[in-house]
């Protein structure tokens, strides 16, 4: 029989079994690799989106703090009398420039007239004069117009350029706290505080918001960056950091093993599951740490904002109260006994506050000696006052640490939703204003919003 007419069993098996199975395995490998790449890219994109949101929040929070500080100094009877009306340079230097520079890190402090010209000013210890817009580019005139006599706001802030370097600038109209302060000055005065976003300031934000290597970049050319517009909207400053890339880590771990599917498909599947679980645990732990205060272990400002947003948007929201708290006398404890004991006092105060709350209430550390309480289901002044006074009583007891006995107090401002506001930032502003009024009237007390 001629050899050409014989069909070998191996050929048939190869054609009917080996080839289809090989093709199927190849398709599975390509599909798994493509799926892994897509998941990795999606994971990295999600993480980068969170980091961009964190970067924007970091700068917005710092600008809000600067705006609050500027408004506190500008909305002060002494500033109005001694600076706006008398132009007392010595008083301005001792009572505004020095504390704003030493305690709040301001690089430039100035009083300007309605045209934006410097009346009194200091930059890094040296006097300045002339138009402030010549030093601050990027829209100082826009801020001055918003805050000026014809403007609609009393305080405004924005991102400008201080000799080409990015800086947060807050501008506030100088005005009396009391209504009757005699004759008004010849022309309005405004107070400007400038926070230069130099390496030290960006490093602090980098650590606080888990954005390693946060820096000013020439342009936002990659995903681990964000562009913040200047006050006039005509320019922008790019900030970049070493972005997380969990997707790349995932691929480096999985691709070699996925390529080994031809040899050990079952082992690869188990490995992928273990790696996926480990990656999810690491990601979840990283997100959890980002929402906690490292000293007290309490939720932080980001966690509070997320919780308030969720409650405001919930159809089952029966109303709630937001309280802002400030420890009284804590700065003296820090100055006299050092930061180590001060940190211990903060932790003990946080523990005592938690003992005064109900199950389901949320205690938050905002930073420094500032805390917040979120009280679901409470909108009446009576029960709220009971809880607030219980917190004041708990915290006010003497604290003994390492043989040292100290005492701090707490002042509380309360806003309620939806009566006061249905917006998170507005509610926070109202609670903070209530706290400010309480501290001015009598420390160690509770003050409600004006509408409560």
Query: Tens of pLDDT along 408-450?
Result: 999 999 999 999 998 999 999 999 999 999 999 999 999 998 6
Q: What is the 3-state secondary structure (H, E, C) of 321-381?
A: EEEEEEEECHHHHHHHHHHHHHHHHHHHHHHHHHHCCCCCCEEEEEECCEEEEEEECCCCH
Chain CA centroid to CA 253, Å: 34
Domain annotation for the chain: domains and CATH numbers? 12-290 (3.30.450.20), 301-448 (3.30.70.270)
Q: Phi/psi of residue 145, each to 5°?
A: -65, -40
Summarize pLDDT for 280-293 with one digit per residue, the tens: 576 667 667 788 99
At 156 the pLDDT is 94
- pLDDT interval class at 45 (50, 70, 90): confident
CB-neighbour burial class of residue 446 (10 A; exposed 0-12, middle 13-18, buried 19+): buried
- pLDDT interval class at 273 (50, 70, 90): low
Residue 120 backbone zone (phi > 0: left; psi -120 to 50: alpha; other: beta): beta
At 382 the pLDDT is 94
At 5 the pLDDT is 42
CB-neighbour burial class of residue 135 (10 A; exposed 0-12, middle 13-18, buried 19+): buried
For residue 390, pLDDT beyond 80: yes
- pLDDT interval class at 253 (50, 70, 90): confident
For residue 262, pLDDT beyond 70: no
Summarize pLDDT for 86-139 with one digit per residue, the tens: 999 999 999 999 999 999 899 999 999 988 999 999 999 899 999 999 999 999
Percent of the chain with pLDDT over 90: 65
Which helix or strand (DSSP H or E) is residue 228 part of?
strand 225-229
Q: Are 132 and 140 in contact (CB under 8 A)?
A: yes
- Output the CA–CA distances (angstroms, integers) from residue 189 to 113, 135, 136, 143, 192, in the order listed: 5, 18, 18, 13, 10
At 17 the pLDDT is 76
Mean pLDDT confidence for 4-31: 70
- pLDDT interval class at 255 (50, 70, 90): confident
With H, G, I as helix, E, B as strand and everything else as coil, classify residue 320: strand
At 2 the pLDDT is 40
Give the Cα separation of 54 and 128 in Å (integer).
Answer: 35
At 58 the pLDDT is 92
At 24 the pLDDT is 84
Q: What 8-state DSSP symbol labels residue 214?
A: -
DSSP symbols for 58-125: HHHHHHHHHHHHHHHHHB-HHHIIIIIIT--HHHHIIIIIHHHHHTT--SEEEEE-TTSEEEEEEETT
Give the Cα separation of 129 and 120 in Å (integer).
Answer: 7
Q: Phi/psi of residue 218, each to 5°?
A: -70, -35
At 351 the pLDDT is 96
- pLDDT interval class at 10 (50, 70, 90): low
Percent of the chain with pLDDT over 70: 90
Give the Cα separation of 310 and 354 in Å (integer).
Answer: 22
Q: What is the mean pLDDT of the chain?
A: 88
Q: Phi/psi of residue 115, each to 5°?
A: -90, 0
């Amino acid at each position: 029989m001629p050899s050409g007419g014989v069909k070998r069993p191996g050929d048939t098996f190869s054609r009917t079994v080996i080839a289809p199975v090989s093709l199927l395995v190849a398709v599975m490998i390509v599909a798994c690799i493509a799926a892994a790449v897509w998941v990795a890219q999606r994971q990295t994109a999600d993480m980068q989106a969170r980091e961009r949101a964190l970067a924007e929040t970091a700068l917005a929070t710092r600008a809000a703090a600067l705006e609050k500080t500027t408004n506190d100094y500008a909305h002060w009877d002494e500033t109005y009398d001694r600076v706006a009306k008398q132009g007392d340079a010595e008083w301005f230097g001792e009572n505004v420039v020095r504390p704003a520079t030493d305690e709040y890190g301001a690089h430039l402090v100035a009083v300007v007239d309605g045209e934006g010209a410097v009346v009194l000013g200091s930059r890094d210890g040296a006097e300045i004069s002339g138009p402030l817009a010549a030093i601050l580019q990027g829209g100082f005139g826009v801020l001055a117009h918003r805050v000026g006599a014809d403007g609609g706001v009393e305080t405004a802030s924005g991102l400008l350029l201080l000799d080409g370097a990015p800086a947060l600038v807050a501008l506030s109209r100088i005005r009396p706290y009391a209504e009757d302060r005699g004759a008004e000055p010849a022309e309005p005065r405004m107070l400007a505080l400038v926070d230069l976003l130099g390496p030290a300031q960006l490093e602090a934000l980098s650590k606080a918001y888990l954005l390693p290597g946060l820096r000013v970049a020439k342009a936002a050319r990659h995903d681990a960056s964000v562009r913040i517009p200047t006050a006039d909207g005509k320019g922008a400053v790019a900030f970049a950091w070493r972005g997380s890339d969990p997707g790349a880590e995932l691929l480096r771990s999985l691709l070699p093993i996925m390529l080994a599917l031809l040899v050990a498909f079952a082992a690869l599947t188990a490995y992928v599951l273990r790696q996926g679980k480990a990656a999810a645990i690491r990601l979840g732990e990283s997100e959890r740490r980002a929402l906690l205060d490292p000293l007290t272990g309490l939720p932080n400002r980001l966690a509070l904002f997320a919780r308030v947003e969720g409650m405001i948007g919930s159809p089952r929201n029966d109303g709630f109260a937001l309280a802002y708290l400030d420890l009284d006398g804590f700065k003296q404890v820090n100055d006299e006994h050092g930061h180590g004991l001060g940190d211990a006092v903060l932790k003990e105060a946080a523990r005592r506050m938690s003992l005064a709350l109900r199950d389901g209430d949320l205690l938050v550390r905002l930073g420094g000696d500032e805390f917040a309480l979120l009280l679901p289901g409470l909108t009446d002044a009576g029960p709220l006052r009971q809880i607030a006074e219980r917190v004041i009583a708990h915290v006010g007891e003497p604290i003994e640490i390492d043989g040292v006995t100290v005492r701090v107090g707490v002042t509380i401002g309360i806003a309620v939703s939806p009566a006061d506001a249905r917006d998170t930032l507005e509610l926070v502003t109202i609670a903070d204003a209530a706290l400010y009024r309480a501290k001015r009237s009598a420390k160690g007390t509770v003050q409600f919003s004006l509408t409560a």
